[in-house]
Amino acid sequence: MNIIITGASKGIGKAIAEQFAQDGHTILLCSRGEKTLYDAVSDLMTRFPQSTIKGKAYDMSDKLSVIEFAKWCLNYGTPDIVVNNAGQFIPGSIHDEEEGILELMMETNLYSAYHLTRQLLPEMIKAAQGHIFNICSIASLQAYANGGSYSISKFALLGFSKNLREELKPKGIKVTAVCPGATLSSSWDGVAIDPKRIMEIEDVAKMVFAAAKLSPMAVVEDIVMRPQLGDL
């Protein structure tokens, strides 16, 4: 299978790549930072020689970069699985966050998925198969203090997922919205937290992998995950 994962140099994106790499696939990765991306590609290639791992650095908040990434991916054939994971978290409140934060959150967390999906879908529709995962958030479901424009963008991403699901039902393409709660990723760097109070990135990756393994007649529309003790 051809598997595309954005925001894949670390965290949930890389963990998802690890899950699929164990099976032997062509996995195409991107992130903004060249060094962290190519370090991740090298690590995955060493650990999972049964898979073909490729990576290219693109800024997914920029529409032209997204289009270039899509063209690069299509050189390897029709995508089977697309994981729209690229995103950024900037905490704050709507009434006093810096000017431009909403635009940045929308460009990174919503438009990246929107533009990439639109570029890839014509070939996927021709093949009448495929699976799109949009990595949303608990912030897509429930407003919370300090969520600000991040939460707005994640609500929008969930809306995108639900509309896409309806459109693609008759075309043989599955759509899954993944809404993880607090997960020990780079968003929590510098925060002192009990690791037993937060989910592991592998938890999310395993759920995505499991949902991708269902028969063509079944789809998991929504995956909602929280730490066992509840939201932080």
**What's the number of CA atoms in the CB half-sphere (13 Å) around residue 175?**
23
In the chain, % of residues over pLDDT 70:
97
Q: Catalytic: which of 58, 111, 114, 150?
A: 150
- Note if the pTM is more than 0.85: yes
In the chain, % of residues over pLDDT 90:
87
- Checking if the pLDDT of 187 tops 70, the result is no
Tokens 């995103």, residue located: 87
* CA 114/CA 134 separation, integer angstroms: 10
Q: Radius of gyration of the chain from Cα atoms? A: 17
- Checking if the pLDDT of 146 tops 90, the result is no
Q: What is the pLDDT of residue 144?
A: 87
- Checking if the pLDDT of 145 tops 90, the result is no
Measured from the Cβ of residue 37, the count of other Cβ atoms closer than 10 Å reads 22
Q: Worst-scoring range by mean pLDDT, 63-77, 102-116, 130-144, 185-199?
A: 185-199
Interhelix angle 11-21/201-212, nearest 10 degrees: 50
Mean pLDDT, residues 80-100 taken together: 94
Q: What is the pLDDT of residue 60?
A: 96
* CA 55/CA 17 separation, integer angstroms: 11
Q: What is the pLDDT of residue 190?
A: 63
Q: What is the pLDDT of residue 197?
A: 85
| CB proximity list for 126: less than 8 A, separation 6 or greater | 78
Q: What is the pLDDT of residue 195?
A: 77
Mean pLDDT, residues 141-162 taken together: 94
Per-residue DSSP letter, 145? T
**pLDDT per position as a tens digit, 200-228:** 999 999 999 999 999 999 999 999 999 99
Q: Take residue 202 and report the two structure tokens written for it.
A: 């592998």
* CA 49/CA 171 separation, integer angstroms: 34
Q: What is the pLDDT of residue 196?
A: 81
Q: What is the DSSP string of 195-213?
A: GGGSB-HHHHHHHHHHHHT
> Which contiguous run of DSSP H or E holds residue 113?
helix 112-127
Closest to 173 measured CA to CA, from 229, 114, 123: 123
Active site residue 144: no
- Checking if the pLDDT of 29 tops 70, the result is yes
Domains delineated in the chain = 2-225 (3.40.50.720)
pLDDT-based confidence at 189, cuts 50/70/90?
low
Return mean pLDDT, the chain.
Answer: 94
